[in-house]
Structure 1
Amino acid sequence: MRRTHPGLLGRFTRFGRAMTVAAAIVMAMPTGALACTQIYMGKGVTDTGDTYVGRSEDYANRHPKAFGIQEPRENPTFKSGESTFTWTYSGGQTFRHTYVRDTPSGWGDTDAYSEAGTNEKGVSVSATLTTDYNDKIAEKDPCGAYYDDKGNAIAEKSTGIGEYTIPDVVLGCADTARNGVKLLGKIIDENGSYDCNQIIIADSAETWVFMQLSGHQWCAVNLTAVAPDKVSVNPNMSNLKFDVDLENEDVCLHSADLEKVAKDAHTAEYFDDGRLDVATSYGKDESAGQNTRYAQGRAYFGNPLADGTYTKDLTTTSDWQGVTSISDPELLFAPSGQVSLFQALRSYAARGEQTSDLNANTNSKLYAIGNNRTVETHMFQIRSGLTSDIATVQWEALSRAEFSVAVPVYSALLTKVDTTIYPEVDKWDESHTGDAHERDNVKGALDASTDNGSLDYVLMDINTLAYNNREKLAVPTRAYLDALQKELISQQATVDDIMKQTPAKDRSDLANKLFEQASKETYAKTKALLDEMRTYVNGGMKGDFVPSDLDAAKGDLKTPIRYATAFFAPQISEQPQGATYEKGDKAADLKVTATIPDGVAGSDQYLTYKWTAESDTADASAKATAAAKPMARAAAPGTASQSSTIPVDTSKVGTTTYTCTVTNSVNGESVTSEAATITVKEKQPAPKPDDKPSTDDKGNNANAGNGNNANANGGTAPSKKSPAKAAPGRLVSTGDTNNAMVPVAIAIAGVAIVVIALVVRKRNRE
């Protein structure tokens, strides 16, 4: 997608568009412009071991797109707004699937062109990459598009299936990627093709590139089988070569007369191994716009075109500059290293920065993959070894890729979307876009009064302002969006673990919640960025623009998004500890340490704490609550811990039990700590300095060891109870510590003996 010569002119004519507008578009685009880019990365070249595949759509810089869900239908008849094509499904109920459709301003209908989506069986479709065919093939097996003598496409006289219908047919009716290929091939065999395109049809097992080569000829290659360690960048080129065994249905499916038509047209070319060179036989040489983007894509993945394999013209002033021809263009090539998901998503924004002479940022005469007319981009992250419902994550980025953010969605499971962020296809107020086919509408992008709450419009306006004020806004805007994209990728890995552990029956509900949360977080961040950009531009763009939420030194957001955070309950890693104190003592604060186990740095700021105290003291209320403010984040780098404390009251004697409820404020989920019991006792009096214990005649403490001195050897306070009496008939025992007569009797006897001795001695002296 999309033609900007007769096909596009015809569309505008059918729906009353002025020919002057269409002519302006043609003037603004590469000659013969077909300006979308399809990108594939095999699982052997990605750092996750996943397959990445998708496409960017180039059409008009302020053209809105509607993301939504097509509900199942019973034996529907599919029709086309571009031709007389109709086809009725007889298999019963179709499959529910996501879509990215044109709004009515594009075609005049609400069912047009579901260019990207995944159905409930896990089949994904990325469509369409418009290609072309050479004149000899066109004469032998023409496509069904019919044009009048002014170059306008006339739907009433055109035949064959095209981009208007292909995605809905395959997504609605195919339960596997292979069956989708066979179904589309059968329809073309019987009804023909409206035009030439390439379509990606994929599931967790296989990723196919399907090629509409001519009116009734087609070829599909299983990229999973033939290119697990390769990359493909195709900017609407029909001549990218591939060498596969056409007779091996594990790697290739095709129309019965594929080779015969090429022979009849005298265009058949063969590789040295004797296999038909399909691309050369059916395709045609491309212009500078396509060739330049192909060269930029090769450079982005670290495998630039070799010197001597291409020609270029950087001097022309009447047309697009760049690569004018390529001697041996390949559909598949090896990248220089492993590709991350972030690199994969950003490939749609490549502008030749990796080259010295094809950088569109420094030469406006070079057309770029990441250009100002991209409407949306999507990337399917396909994981092997998982069930079909969760194997594919669709990363959807509305508006132009250069200044956009892709939001993750489990499309196979999705059953609802937030219609504020993603308005329904027939509910769009397009007054905000202005004329979507102008070079750009800066005035509209600065006008907040027509904002409609959609993510599409926010990203559209960010792109308009950053692109048209590139010197001031491009770098800081992209830096902020990069930080946001990386956070979404990181947190998606976390929530993916939750999804894998969720029972199948509960996964759709979780998928809905995840997509809603990711979309809301992305909208909030990008809308705040847009508001700051508007203020900066309206204020005359004085000084440097720095998004307030960007930590420029670290390349991170200052406040993390709450995507993963919304799906975790807090965990307590350190419980409050009980203790015993005397009344009035200084007590240590109680502390609880908790975290949100989402793996997101800084997310613990969303924790709140509530302490509850239950006391048995007579003068305390039955229950008291206190909120404690969080302490500073732990200093150790990488630790995810945050503390909250509460002071302990020791002014009253009694027992108090404390608990702390920790809440994730994002989702309201809570966990309560273990109970900590604080006991407060009466203060024990300290001995006075002038208090001396009684002693015997030898200076010994008369009370030591008898348990009656509260300060001797840690003894307890004296008992205030009366001494117990001995039982009748029992001799008093010296072991009876509660009988005071024993020591008294001994003392009296001792005194008597001393007196008698003294009397006897005196008499003897006399």
Structure 2
Amino acid sequence: MPHRKHGACTTILVGKGATLDGSTMIARNGDSYDVLVPKKVVVHPHQLLDHEDTCVSPNNRFTISLPKERYRYTAIPDREERYLTFEDAGINEKNVGMSATESIYANPRVLGYDPLVENGIAEDCMVTVVLPYIDSARDGVRRLGEIVEKYGAAESNGVLFSDKDEVWYMEIATGHLWAAQRIPDDSYAVVANQMAIQEIDPDDKDRFMLAPDLIDFIDRHHLNAGPEGINFRQIFGTRTVQDRHYNTPRVWYGQKVLNPELEQDPMSDQLPFIRKASRRIGVEDISYILSSHYQETPYDPLGSGSEADRTRFRAISLNRTQDSHILQIRPKRSDALAGIQWIQLAGTFAPYVPFYTNITSVPENYAVTPMKLSLDSAYWLYKTIPVIVEPHYQAFYKEVMDYKDQLHSFFLGQIEKTDQKAAEPERTDVPELLTKATALCAETALDRTRALLQKLTMDAMSLSKLTFRMDKNL
């Protein structure tokens, strides 16, 4: 079976000291090479099996034995009848978040010395074989690193990990080599399909984790062209025309939103990996960036720039964005309440709906996704919005933004009420309470989306180009 890969994504990571409320946040758009790859939402219960299980990838036959005990975790897999693949992202019962993966690319020189492994681990099963078995973000890096070293990697990928205190970004560069950097508490990072990690310090164990053979590999093959230090991006990454049109502009726009005072070139090879924002960052900032398409610049494909500018760069949110997620792990909350996974299905014009991760079940409209269009399905309902909006973007844009903003306000109010109820003394039904609150948010979003689509469809009927007026009586 040929290996199937989901394709290009955009990533944002934020340390706890850079957010409004001290949350750690990791986020990513799950893009595909295809326009339609139906997604669903699941919560896997805690399991203690009688024996070790075996995971076999249906895509490239990667095979690994798994421990008997599995923590509860959420995920956003492809809609498949036979198996769960491409689980994308989730938070486990230890409040550890993971998102996999950000597709990245190594240069031919390093791949010549350590090629990718055809049946090594790939993004289709990374969440499945890592997230249920880890107790911290560092533990996630460690477990995935050991798997890459032992079995090899089928792809170059960036992987995100978080817990209440730390945020880590890991890059799997070649068949067996990787590096990971802790995002400073007061900083953020935006990544877009390129090697992003820059200077690494092998002796700084607090900030970096590395494959054991990484430094020896660099020295043995004379790979470090810099005058001093070890720049992971320069050694392992690429600097191509595609990077400057497909990748770096997305990093530029994310940094432009969070640091509007900066003047940078969207095609620069020198955009930094780590930045300190000019303000504290909220869920709203991340959702704006991940839903964006270069608004208020000449490069917006839906804007009024020239044809050349509107098609110059690859936008962040696309019609082939299948899901987007923000994994928020909140401070000053009990472990039962800390994790919220904000989920946007189908991209751009859809809302980010909050899912508490300590839940017992997922609303049916999110859990069941048919392979063909059905307006009873969350994925398909949200997927229809751009079909109506894009042809009449200027006419409908404000109404869609108002719909998203009003829903977000509703969600924040419901989260506050639910947190207060769940914190009541001697409360014993917290998972059930959180499940009901999540279902209310999800169903409210779907009801308002149906109402929006009904109105926009009726309004669009008067905007047809197949009309002609010559005489008011005709």
Superposition TM-score, scaled by structure 1 size: 0.56
Computed over aligned residues only, the root mean square deviation of the Cα atoms, in angstroms, reads 2.4
Once the two structures are TM-superposed, the CA of residue 193 in structure 1 deviates from its matched residue by 0.6
> Is 1:280 aligned with 2:234?
yes
Q: Residues 635-671 of structure 1: CA distance to partner in whole angstroms, max 9, x if unpaired? A: xxxxxxxxxxxxxxxxxxxxxxxxxxxxxxxxxxxxx
The amino acid across from 1:56 in the alignment is N
Counterpart residue number, 1:493: 416
Q: Aligned partners of 1:76, 1:468: CA distance in 2, in Å?
A: 50
> Is 1:346 aligned with 2:288?
yes
> Is 1:129 aligned with 2:102?
yes
Once the two structures are TM-superposed, the CA of residue 207 in structure 1 deviates from its matched residue by 1.7
Once the two structures are TM-superposed, the CA of residue 255 in structure 1 deviates from its matched residue by 0.7
The amino acid across from 1:81 in the alignment is P
Once the two structures are TM-superposed, the CA of residue 191 in structure 1 deviates from its matched residue by 0.3
The secondary structure found in structure 2 opposite 1:352 is coil
Stretches of structure 2 lacking an aligned partner (at least 5 in a row)? 466-474
> Is 1:11 aligned with 2:4?
yes
Counterpart residue number, 2:214: 258
2:86–2:123: 8 Å Cα contact kept in structure 1? yes
Q: Which of 337, 360, 364 is residue 415 of structure 1 equivalent to?
A: 360
Q: Aligned partners of 1:490, 1:386: CA distance in 2, in Å?
A: 16
The secondary structure found in structure 1 opposite 2:41 is strand
Once the two structures are TM-superposed, the CA of residue 109 in structure 1 deviates from its matched residue by 4.1
Q: Aligned partners of 1:197, 1:500: CA distance in 2, in Å?
A: 39
1:395–1:406: 8 Å Cα contact kept in structure 2? yes
Q: Aligned partners of 1:338, 1:404: CA distance in 2, in Å?
A: 24
2:370–2:377: 8 Å Cα contact kept in structure 1? no
Q: Aligned partners of 1:303, 1:54: CA distance in 2, in Å?
A: 21
Q: Aligned partners of 1:379, 1:407: CA distance in 2, in Å?
A: 10
Once the two structures are TM-superposed, the CA of residue 267 in structure 1 deviates from its matched residue by 2.3
Structure 1 pair 87/10, CA: closer, same or farther in 2 (3 Å)? closer
Q: Aligned partners of 2:204, 2:387: CA distance in 1, in Å?
A: 48
1:269–1:278: 8 Å Cα contact kept in structure 2? no
Q: Aligned partners of 1:249, 1:109: CA distance in 2, in Å?
A: 42
Counterpart residue number, 1:39: 12
> Is 1:377 aligned with 2:319?
no
Q: Residues 236-274 of structure 1: CA distance to partner in whole angstroms, max 9, x if unpaired? A: 111x343343223222211111122223333225575x3
The amino acid across from 1:116 in the alignment is A
The amino acid across from 1:83 in the alignment is N
Kindly indicate which of the two structures has a greater share of residues assigned to helix: 2
Once the two structures are TM-superposed, the CA of residue 389 in structure 1 deviates from its matched residue by 3.0
Counterpart residue number, 1:92: 68
Count of aligned pairs between the two proteins: 452
Once the two structures are TM-superposed, the CA of residue 329 in structure 1 deviates from its matched residue by 2.3
The amino acid across from 1:408 in the alignment is P
Structure 1 pair 409/109, CA: closer, same or farther in 2 (3 Å)? same
Structure 1 pair 429/393, CA: closer, same or farther in 2 (3 Å)? closer
Once the two structures are TM-superposed, the CA of residue 166 in structure 1 deviates from its matched residue by 0.6
Q: Aligned partners of 1:118, 1:281: CA distance in 2, in Å?
A: 33
Counterpart residue number, 1:222: 182
1:378–1:395: 8 Å Cα contact kept in structure 2? yes
Counterpart residue number, 1:584: none
Counterpart residue number, 2:162: 202
Once the two structures are TM-superposed, the CA of residue 135 in structure 1 deviates from its matched residue by 0.8
Once the two structures are TM-superposed, the CA of residue 540 in structure 1 deviates from its matched residue by 4.3
Structure-to-structure mapping, 1:529-540, within 5 angstroms: 529-540=452-463
Once the two structures are TM-superposed, the CA of residue 477 in structure 1 deviates from its matched residue by 1.5
1:61–1:399: 8 Å Cα contact kept in structure 2? no
Identity of aligned residues (%): 24
Stretches of structure 1 lacking an aligned partner (at least 5 in a row)? 1-6, 13-32, 145-157, 311-322, 433-449, 543-766
Q: Which of 319, 337, 359 is residue 300 of structure 2 equivalent to?
A: 359
1:296–1:368: 8 Å Cα contact kept in structure 2? no
Counterpart residue number, 2:58: 81
Superposition TM-score, scaled by structure 2 size: 0.89
* The structure with more radius of gyration: 1
Q: Aligned partners of 2:302, 2:261: CA distance in 1, in Å?
A: 18
Structure 1 pair 237/385, CA: closer, same or farther in 2 (3 Å)? same
Counterpart residue number, 2:370: 429
The secondary structure found in structure 1 opposite 2:161 is strand
Structure 1 pair 385/253, CA: closer, same or farther in 2 (3 Å)? farther
Once the two structures are TM-superposed, the CA of residue 373 in structure 1 deviates from its matched residue by 1.9
> Is 1:173 aligned with 2:127?
no
Q: Residues 148-206 of structure 1: CA distance to partner in whole angstroms, max 9, x if unpaired? A: xxxxxxxxxx2110111110111221122222221111111110111011111112132
Once the two structures are TM-superposed, the CA of residue 44 in structure 1 deviates from its matched residue by 2.3
Q: Residues 651-693 of structure 1: CA distance to partner in whole angstroms, max 9, x if unpaired? A: xxxxxxxxxxxxxxxxxxxxxxxxxxxxxxxxxxxxxxxxxxx
1:189–1:217: 8 Å Cα contact kept in structure 2? yes
The amino acid across from 1:102 in the alignment is D
